[in-house]
Amino acid sequence: MQGHTRDLFDGASLDTRHEPLAPGAWLLHGFALDKVTAVLAAIEDIRAAAAFRHLVTPGGFRMSVAMTNCGRLGWVSDRRGYRYADCDPLSGRPWPPMPRVLLELAQTAAQAAGFSDFDPDACLVNRYEPGARLTLHQDKDEGDLSAPIVSVSLGLPATFLFGGDLRKDRQRRVPLQHGDVVVWGGPARLHYHGVLALKDGNHVVLGSQRLNLTFRRAT
Ligand code: MD3
Ligand code: FE
């Protein structure tokens, strides 16, 4: 079913349409909205244990997006390359565990998109401030490319760029709002994608930032 809107007791509405973006890719509008308070509390705990930091690419550029991780493995980048690591290179300690509310959100979203046994072992948390962006790339550092990736957007809206299997393939622009969840797997798993520079703004819950969680099966 598509295009329905559920009314809440307080008169606010929860937009929960499930929009197919491409074979294997679904945009679940508002899927995370009813869990936002718990999700933000979980991110606060993660941030306290493993601070957001601007990683450096292998080519020596400081990323404009600030990152941290939770789960058994975390995605890191430095002059030596991109990889998953079981410890935070800033602290030397294991990444904070994946909070149950995050794991359950990722699994229920994957299931809604047709991926029934998603068992993520890594969650990358991206923080965008105005001007921050992610250039076109593929997510291919994961050992298990049969598992989908689940992405949760919070705070300021962003324009997502969503291409094909080749860098040169035509890109679609997909607006992502607070509470939206995207699941991509199967034939869409290696599609090129990116995020346009975040526009200035003030979000009622998160102020002038956007947070994005990506859940992956890294091993
Ligand atoms: C790919 N993060 O961390 S992925 C990343 O908003 C990353 O921070 C993005 O790309 C971010 O590697 C969100 C979201 C996404 C959504 C739909 C897709 C990626 C997709 C559809 C096809 C391919
Ligand atoms: Fe990506």
Domain-embedded: residue 9: no
Domain-embedded: residue 70: yes
Residues 6+ apart with CB under 8 A from 61: none
Task: Say how many Å lie between the CA of residue 60 and the centre of ligand 1.
Answer: 22
| Boundaries of domain holding 136 | 17-216
Mean pLDDT, residues 145-159 taken together = 98
pLDDT digits (tens, 9 = 90+) for 161-195: 999 999 999 999 999 999 999 999 999 999 999 99
pLDDT of residue 12: 59
C-beta of 209 in contact with ligand 1 (< 6 A): no
C-beta of 39 in contact with ligand 1 (< 6 A): no
pTM of the model: 0.94
| CA-nearest residue, atom 4 of ligand 1 | 151
Domain-embedded: residue 108: yes
Mean pLDDT, residues 96-102 taken together = 98
Domain-embedded: residue 169: yes
User: Number of structural domains, the chain?
Assistant: 1
pLDDT of residue 14: 80
Atom of ligand 1 nearest to the CA of 25: 21
